[in-house]
Amino acid sequence: MSVEPRYRRIFLFDEEGNAYTLANPLPVEATTTTGDFVFDVDDGLIAKSQVPQTTNDLNYGFDTPSDAWTRFLTEVDDGTIAAGQKPQLINGLMYYYDDKLGAWKRWEGEDGSMWTTIYGMYTRLGDSVLDDTLDAMKTVNASEFVDDAAFTVATDRGLVIGGVATSDSVNPNDFGVLKITTDRSLVVTNDDITNGSQRSVIQNSGSDVSDANPLPTTSQLKIETVIEDTAFDLNAAAYSETATPAYDYIIDNVAFEFTTAEARDITITSDNGTKIYESLANTNLSVAVASINFGQTSGQTFTVAITQTAGACSVDVTANIKNSPVALTADPVIAAGINQIGNVQLSGVEYVSGQSGVDAMTHALEVIDYAHHEIHAGSHFKAGYQDTTMNDTDTIALVFTTPNTTKWAHWVMTARTTGAATVQLFKSPTLAAEGTSITPLNRNQNSLNVATVAVKHTPTITTNGTKITEKWIGGEGFKSNIGGESRGDSELILEQNQQYMILCTAGANGIKCAIGGDWYEHTSKN
């Protein structure tokens, strides 16, 4: 006989008549004898005296302010808690929220240390401080710079080596920043180190710079345009322009370009009334007043003026000066010692009318000799005397007296006759009377310069003096003049504070004779 088992289900109810279930568990008292939790209701707070079980997944942390164990608000602690659930913020909580993963992450570590991989760092406003592209920390307004890249002051950033503009000093073995000036220049001092391998040496002309051998210095000049006017209508009004340079300066050149050849007066004057240049009734289309070299101090002015009485004409005016940001105490010179200026190479000269110094057709360089240059400079003179009714043995004489200065006369004798004659040059003649004065002619008729050599004719001769040369002209087989040779073959530099006499003696009746001298006056540079 078989017995069929029977089962009975027993239900337990609480005081309110509700059945005990997982959602409404049976309450029991806890004990600490085994260290296990024994509880009827998990209300999220476990007394300090009880030890949480370690056999289950840990989801509790100790909350010091509550002095109790408190539960994470999640089912299972598997190292990552979903973003929708949040662990309680208790003291010693080992979790952090990873915004990039959108979840809470548990710190990991051992022996008291904790570590994790940082995927995101944020400001309190939620802005990321990491650069995902560069995988690095961001910097505020950062910029990357390559060599020779532009840099905006007070905006761009970079690694800066700083200095302080200060008069402070530090003691030996102290830390200190670099010293700079207020214009950001680094201050460098060469100490008096006796070991030559540890010091910088600056030399001048092969020797160390010292009080006895200082570095050479010189004033530095630059060219500056201080007047630049174009298309000024001279028919409407007279032109006048004043320049007031900021520093000591030298007026270098002034150029004028006129559209018509009307007569006009051109002047350049200083503020103290000095007339630097004047040209009256000038009709040239291009006028270049070059190498003026008139110096003035800072604050002094000069005025360029053009007056034209009538006629349609406009003008372009340009004035250039040489000036310096420091006071000029002397003419700028190359400093003493060996100075390498550099090399000058001419690869070609482009013709510009009136400015190039080359022939427009052949591009040949146009030059003049130095004596011709002195004509342009207004320092070249000539003087002479003639007799048109000379008979055999008649004489005429011309005396040249040089001043006692180093401005010497570079002199050439001239003579011409219609018949036979002897021409002689004497030095230091003895004269009872020097004769009648002659005014030498300046070969630049625009110059007001006056010769320093005095010339007189028909002296009263006591003795002729020392004969320098004697020539025969006008007779059969002889030239009719003196002075046709190249200047280098015939030029004399007359001795200062001395007298020279040309004496022409006729060798036939009824002849004409003219004698004279041609010279320029020059002070030697060396």
Amino acid at 380: H
* CATH fold label, 222-323: Jelly Rolls (2.60.120)
HEC assignment per residue over 472-497? EECCCCCCCEECCCCHHHHCEECCCC
User: Residue 399 pairs with which residues in a beta bridge?
Assistant: 456, 501
Model pLDDT for residues 267-298, shown as the tens digit of each residue:
999 998 889 899 998 899 999 988 888 888 88
pLDDT class of 343 with cuts at 50, 70, 90: low
pLDDT class of 104 with cuts at 50, 70, 90: low
With pLDDT > 70 as the criterion, what percentage of the chain qualifies?
A: 60
Residues 267 and 275 sit within 8 Å (Cβ to Cβ): yes
Tracing tokens 């010692």 back to the chain, one arrives at 337
| Residues 434/439/440/443 CA torsion (nearest 10 deg) | -170
First to last CA, the chain: 158
Give the Cβ contact number of residue 216 at 10 Å: 14
Number of residues that make up the chain: 526
Tracing tokens 């050439």 back to the chain, one arrives at 412
At a CB cut-off of 8 Å and minimum separation 6, what does 90 contact?
61, 62, 63, 64, 65, 66, 70
Amino acid 92: pLDDT: 45
Q: 177 vs 13, which has greater pLDDT? A: 177
pLDDT class of 341 with cuts at 50, 70, 90: low
Amino acid 76: pLDDT: 45
Q: What is the CA radius of gyration of the chain?
A: 55
Model pLDDT for residues 181-192, shown as the tens digit of each residue:
888 888 776 655
Residues 26-45: what's their mean pLDDT?
46
At a CB cut-off of 8 Å and minimum separation 6, what does 118 contact?
none
User: Residue 161 pairs with which residues in a beta bridge?
Assistant: none
d(CA 388, CA 376): 33
Model pLDDT for residues 216-241, shown as the tens digit of each residue:
655 567 788 999 999 999 988 999 99
Residues 259 and 314 sit within 8 Å (Cβ to Cβ): yes
Which range, 61-70, 78-87, 160-169, 209-218, is most confident? 160-169
Domain 379-523 has CATH 2.60.120: yes
pLDDT over 90 at 424, yes or no: yes
Mean of per-residue pLDDT scores for the chain: 76
Q: 506 vs 169, which has greater pLDDT? A: 506
Model pLDDT for residues 396-422, shown as the tens digit of each residue:
999 999 999 999 999 999 999 988 999
pLDDT class of 152 with cuts at 50, 70, 90: confident
pLDDT over 50 at 34, yes or no: no
d(CA 324, CA 321): 10
Amino acid 38: pLDDT: 40
pLDDT over 50 at 1, yes or no: no
Amino acid 13: pLDDT: 65
Amino acid 398: pLDDT: 96
CA distances from 132 to 104, 115, 125, 137 (A): 21, 21, 19, 9
pLDDT over 80 at 426, yes or no: yes
Amino acid 18: pLDDT: 72
Q: 475 vs 6, which has greater pLDDT? A: 475
Residues 428-449: what's their mean pLDDT?
94
Please state the domain extents for the chain: 222-323, 379-523
pLDDT over 70 at 255, yes or no: yes
Amino acid at 412: V
Helix (H) or strand (E) holding 374: helix 370-377
